[in-house]
Structure 1
Amino acid sequence: MVFSTLFSELYHSIKKTPNSGEVAQYIPELALVDPNKFGVSLVKLNAENFHFGDAQEKFSIQSIAKVLSLTLAYKICGEKLWERVGVEPSGTAFNSLVQLEYEKGIPRNPFINAGALVVADVLVSELKNPNDDFLAFVNQLCHTQVSYSKQVAASEKSCAYVNTALINLMKSFGNIKNDIDQVMDLYFNLCSIEMTCQELSQTFLFLANDGVCPLSEQEIIDHSKSKRINSIMQLCGFYDEAGEFSFKVGLPGKSGVGGGIVVVRPHEFSMAVWSPKLNAKGNSFLGTKFLEKFTTKIDYSIF
């Protein structure tokens, strides 16, 4: 199938849908992004790739990077990781303090902000140079050179009031082991990574291939861990809209407030969509619509 032709057809179909979304306003740098951008890229395990629209333009992947930090922490720590963070859907907002206090500083999953901060704390403990080593790991997956955005990281830091409350609350329960500023620095950096749709879909290919990067044939994580990360993406990858996304799209994936979404069809491909306007739950409005039509049109749900 020539996916690029299908992408064009689906885009012009969803473009007629009234787009009530808004770009992320609470991070000043993201509020400056052109809301009309749209890109999509699909990369197959045999290296065939298909693109449409602004697929070669870099954007801030934000929370999508939490899958990559989880992968590295899980690779290093194994099952002990789950003593500090759960694998359940949150059921509340991604930055909820109430739930975190009720559950005594153990975040529901690694993709809400509190969970990603715990994962960042693990990496600070385990890596000699956390920022450099994590970026090297991402570049190993991507097979290109991507980088942190100093502007986006600084922008996030300037308004990190809730994240600061979350990490201090977890510190009070003993679930943050390192200096708070060092952990927050890694967290802001990993969220600031910029990629194109093509780079993003290429980066996630290992999760479509049982943990093995098909481009280098290197095992990133073992089959069992790959399966579990995919299941967490399926259950928890879209804030408190994960159930509806699974119902409508039917692929494991992860979204970010930069407007990106990446999804994986095991043993076939990885796919990234970017459209900056977000719905009320913080997921890309047109990106979600596009993926729903895509998996419906060619029956590519995993169910």
Structure 2
Amino acid sequence: MPPKPDLKSIVAGIHADLAPRFGEGKVADYIPQLARVDPRRFGLAVVTLEGETFLAGDAELPFSIQSISKALMLTLALGRHGETIWKRVGREPSGSAFNSIVQLEAESGIPRNPFINAGAIVVTDTLLAGHTPREAIAEIVRFVRFLADEEGIVTDKAVARSEEATGDRNRALAHFMHSFGTLKHPVDHVLGVYFHHCALAMSCRQLAKAGLFLANNGRNPVTGHSVISSARARRINALMLTCGHYDGSGDFAYRVGLPGKSGVGGGILAIAPGHASIAVWSPGLDATGNSLLGSIALEMLANRAGWSVFGH
């Protein structure tokens, strides 16, 4: 067996190596609240299956997790509805922008995967079954608190309002799918819940803790809580590897070699199966809407720890 990586020095080294570049990339400015974030923020958290935590930079500062919530919502939906959700959303990489409507028309209102906006809106629709929007939001917040084993996680109301005010593209996607019968609930209800789970605020440390079950066959090794079956955890990881970074997913798999889910708030949750859960935050984005320095930090970590799922 290879020696255990010295994660303390690896995490500190990545922070030191990237410090001269803090602020690179372009902060998401189409959601006004996100445009206000300091672009020089940088946080990194690694939580191992043994429960050890390694932090650097702004790892304790909450930020808007945005589309990272899509991986957690998929987990909740699979737990509630099982494999039936795949009748309404696909599992293929899209190759198009995360908010594209072009494929939806060609493919009769069935989104390519659960991590583009249209797919996540369908997953959110499944979470509304039997619930009012308020109840669904409360259940989602409870579930994320359960995953992270932290009570203080909340939705940032200002970000949710900001998304609501600028969500015309998402409204168009939702109405389009509703016309095909892909959505079962009123569009405003579905989008209200969708905007709220995208507006969850979490720190890198909390996010890494929340993802730990995906590194350990569906069970959180620290709390002992079983979240999802090992087969479903494996499938969520597979989707994160192939679809988790929009149309930059292939490049991320090539460079980093870990399942990951990004968000336009500049966060990325990455999973090293059998080893650790990792969260990084750097608000400046690259051309495909993924954290520029966050992706580089994860490439460094995967290389230095020897954690790529494709081998050393």
- Compute the displacement of 1:94 (Å): 0.5
Q: Distance in 1 between matches of 2:244 and 2:295?
A: 13
2:146 aligned partner: 140
What is the percent sequence identity of the aligned residues?
A: 46
Give me the TM-score of the superposition, normalised by structure 1. Answer: 0.97
What is residue 223 of structure 2 aligned with on the other side? 216
Q: Do the aligned residues in 2 keep the contact of 1:212 with 1:218 (CA within 8 Å)?
A: yes
- Conservation of the 8 A alpha-carbon contact between 2:22 and 2:42: no
Matched pairs, number: 303
Q: State which of 29, 32, 40 in structure 2 corresponds to 1:28.
A: 32
User: Match for residue 272 of structure 1?
Assistant: 279
Residues 256-267 of structure 1 correspond to what in structure 2 (within 5 A)? Answer: 256-267=263-274
Q: Supply the AA of the counterpart residue of 1:132.
A: A
Counterpart contact for 1:41–1:49, Cα < 8 Å: yes
- RMSD (CA atoms): 1.3
Cα deviation digits, residues 161-210 of structure 1 (max 9, x gap): 10000000000000010011110110000000001100000000011111
Task: Give the Cα–Cα distance (whole angstroms) in 2 for the partners of residues 186 and 178 of structure 1.
Answer: 11
Q: CA–CA distance in 2 between the matches of 1:208 and 1:276?
A: 25
Q: For residue 9 of structure 1, report the CA deviation from its aligned partner.
A: 1.6
Match of 1:45 in 2: 49
Q: Which amino acid aligns with 2:80?
A: I
Q: Deviations over 1:95-116 (max 9, x none)?
A: 1111111101000000000000
Shift in Å at residue 2 of structure 1?
A: 3.9
Range 90-99 or range 211-220, more displaced? 211-220
What are the residue-to-residue correspondences of 1:280-299 with 2, within 5 Å? 280-299=287-306
Residue 187 (structure 2) aligned to one of 177, 180, 187:
180
Equivalent residue for 2:210, pick from 196, 203, 215: 203
Q: TM-score, normalised by structure 2?
A: 0.94
Q: Which amino acid aligns with 1:55?
A: A
Query: For the residues of structure 1 that align with 2:78 and 2:299, how far apart are their CA atoms?
Result: 30
What's the counterpart of residue 5 of structure 1?
9
**Conserved in 1, the CA contact under 8 Å of 2:22 and 2:41?**
no
AA matched with 2:74: L
- Residues 26-175 of structure 1: pairs in structure 2 closer than 5 A: 26-127=30-131, 129-145=135-151, 146-175=153-182
Quote the Cα distance in structure 2 between the aligned partners of 1:302 and 1:71. 21
- What are the ranges of 5 or more consecutive residues in structure 1 without an aligned counterpart? none
1:109-137 Cα offsets, whole Å, 9 max, x none, are: 00000000000000001446211111111
Note the C-alpha offset of 1:20: 4.6
Q: Which amino acid aligns with 1:169?
A: F
Q: Distance in 2 between matches of 1:20 and 1:53?
A: 16
CA contact (8 A) 1:208 1:267 kept: yes
Would you say the 8 A contact 2:43–2:281 is kept in 1? Answer: yes
Contact 1:121 1:177 in 2 (8 A): yes
Q: Which deviates more from structure 2 when the two are superposed, residues 231-240 or residues 5-14? A: 5-14
Deviations 1:227-264 (A, max 9, x none): 10010000000010000000000000100000001101
